[in-house]
């Protein structure tokens, strides 16, 4: 991922010969940097070549007198519609346009627009290259122009915050994109342990301690695999006063075969991404030291494979979670809620101000909301409103689904406290998953994010590469910053 620098106007010519500007469809530039007469000439020339300044549309122009720069104009569409998401998409478009063309690039934007444009630019520069030679890309550095010394310091602060978030997203994407055999639970524990530092403490425990804690629900999923499960617990503490204590819980199924309720082969092709929720939690902890929030954050990530081994849990088995509730397992492919149940129980014991779990939980969420929108359910209205506001700011779309009390009847079991799937097959699957998790969240304000759709992209577009997207890292960071 490209990490932009801050460049003064005096050093611009030495830094790069190519410079990106952003323009609305009426010819108005976002910010300055080009004399009025030259600006009109560039606009007219680009229009003659078919440039309409639609969102993300790019047009290269001839050299201009000010420093012999070559200009690329990036469209923002209509001024009244150009919010932060449009700016992100425009920043991504500039990156994709420049990647194979130039080694260095200047970017001219006002400080007020630098955060979303740099965010889109950095996220679009990401590429997963662990298993193959990366695609040819000439672009190695980008510099955002500052008006003066004071502006340089302010711009650097904006870029530092944005880069911390984008580096966290890239970290989550890397984890999701890695092959399932290369992220065994033990390996994920090692990756989590590497996040430890002065402000972050990490604990990793396996099957034996999980059994001592009464995590029968989590361990029931791990039974089908010879690999030792790994439960990761992280704690971030600020240097100063703690304003709030927040828990983040992430589903960490490193590969989901469905267990004995085996998935069809085509459905397994992307199941290395079933730990995207836990990847997001780890990514947040990667960013926290740089953001220096006055919050105590606790993370809970249960990692295991869900495989149909000789000791695998069988449909009809009954297991007990940490809080003493028994669960009749009727479908071993509804395993994410089982590992989250014990993680939520552990979080509920720690006297937190709020707990948010995130998980690629149900295919029903994709059916209902598609691949761009996460479902969010919450037992606490203020928490829900803050999350929805954070999602609007991040551009990671979320939509509230209700926790319908009457549907709790569908989780009643004849032999246990509840069953792990609803009685009415195919009905309200995402809500049923949320209601199941609510049974283990205790009295703490709690929200559930079903990221089954947005956690993975089948193709590259805008600031997304093909594969893991890093959702909902940016939303969670914005939520935490709002507290």
Q: What residues act catalytically? A: 263, 337
Number of C-beta neighbours around residue 370 at 10 A: 11
| End-to-end alpha carbon distance in the chain | 29
Q: Which two tokens stand for residue 105?
A: 């690039």
Distance, CA of 233 to CA of 343 (rounded, Å): 9
Number of C-beta neighbours around residue 393 at 10 A: 18
What DSSP designation does 275 have?
Answer: G
Distance, CA of 470 to CA of 327 (rounded, Å): 31
Using CA of residue 385, residue 388, residue 393, residue 394, what is the dihedral sign? positive
Cβ-Cβ contacts under 8 Å for 269 (sequence gap 6 or more): none
Q: What angle do CA 5, 11, 14 make, to 5 degrees?
A: 95
Which residue, chain included where needed, has tokens 């959702």?
Answer: 471
Which SS3 state, helix, strand or coil, does residue 428 take?
A: coil
Ramachandran angles phi, psi of 296, nearest 5°: -100, 120
Number of C-beta neighbours around residue 140 at 10 A: 10
8 A C-beta contact, residue 18 and residue 102? yes
Q: How far is CA 361 from the centre of its chain?
A: 15
Distance, CA of 92 to CA of 422 (rounded, Å): 42
Distance, CA of 482 to CA of 177 (rounded, Å): 30
DSSP string across 74-96 = EE---GGG--HHHHHHHHHHHHH
Distance, CA of 438 to CA of 426 (rounded, Å): 20
| Closest residue by Cα to residue 55 from 348, 461, 409 | 461
8 A C-beta contact, residue 169 and residue 474? yes
8 A C-beta contact, residue 258 and residue 128? no
Listed in sequence order, the DSSP H helices in 126-249 are 149-177, 185-193, 207-212, 216-222
Distance, CA of 411 to CA of 420 (rounded, Å): 7
């Amino acid at each position: 991922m490209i990490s932009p620098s801050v460049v003064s106007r005096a050093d611009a010519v030495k830094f790069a010969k190519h410079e990106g500007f952003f323009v609305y469809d009426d010819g108005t530039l976002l910010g300055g940097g080009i004399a009025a007469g030259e600006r009109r000439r560039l606009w007219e020339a680009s229009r003659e070549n078919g440039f309409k300044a639609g969102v993300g549309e790019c047009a290269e122009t001839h050299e201009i007198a000010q420093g012999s720069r070559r200009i690329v104009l990036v469209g923002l569409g209509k001024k009244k519609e150009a919010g932060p998401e449009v700016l992100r998409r425009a920043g991504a478009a500039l990156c994709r346009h420049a990647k194979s063309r130039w080694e260095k690039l200047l970017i001219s934007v006002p400080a007020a627009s630098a955060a979303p444009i740099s965010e889109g630019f950095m996220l679009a520069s990401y590429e997963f290259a662990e298993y193959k030679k990366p695609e040819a890309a000439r672009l190695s550095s980008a510099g955002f122009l500052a008006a003066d010394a004071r502006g340089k310091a302010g711009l650097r602060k904006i870029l530092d915050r944005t880069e911390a978030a984008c580096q966290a997203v890239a970290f989550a994407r890397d984890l999701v994109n890695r092959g399932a055999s290369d992220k065994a639970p033990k390996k994920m524990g090692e990756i989590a342990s590497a996040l430890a530092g002065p402000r972050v403490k990490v604990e990793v425990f396996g099957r034996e301690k999980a059994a001592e804690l009464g995590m029968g629900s989590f361990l029931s999923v791990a039974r089908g695999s010879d690999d030792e499960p790994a439960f990761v617990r992280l704690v971030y503490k600020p240097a100063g006063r703690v304003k709030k204590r927040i828990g983040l819980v992430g589903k960490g199924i490193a590969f989901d075969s469905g267990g004995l309720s085996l998935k069809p082969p085509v459905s397994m092709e992307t199941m290395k991404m079933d730990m995207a929720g836990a990847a997001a939690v780890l990514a947040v902890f990667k960013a926290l030291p740089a953001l220096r929030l006055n919050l105590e954050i606790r993370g809970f990530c249960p990692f295991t494979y869900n495989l149909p081994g000789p000791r695998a849990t069988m449909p009809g088995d009954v297991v007990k979670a940490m809080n003493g509730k028994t669960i009749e397992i009727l479908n071993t492919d509804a395993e994410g809620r089982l590992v989250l149940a014990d993680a939520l129980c552990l979080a509920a014991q720690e006297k937190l101000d709020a707990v948010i779990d995130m998980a690629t939980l149900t295919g029903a969420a994709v059916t209902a909301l598609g691949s761009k929108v996460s479902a969010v359910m919450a037992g606490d209205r203020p928490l829900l409103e803050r999350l929805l506001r954070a999602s609007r700011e991040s551009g990671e779309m979320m939509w509230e689904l209700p926790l319908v009390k009457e549907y709790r009847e569908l989780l009643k079991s004849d032999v246990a406290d509840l069953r792990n799937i609803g009685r009415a097959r195919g009905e309200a699957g995402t809500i049923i998953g949320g209601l199941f998790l609510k049974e283990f969240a205790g009295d703490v304000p709690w929200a559930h994010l079903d990221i089954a759709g947005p956690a993975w992209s089948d193709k590259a577009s805008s600031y997304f590469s093909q594969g893991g997207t890093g959702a909902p890292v940016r939303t969670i960071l914005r939520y935490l910053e709002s507290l």
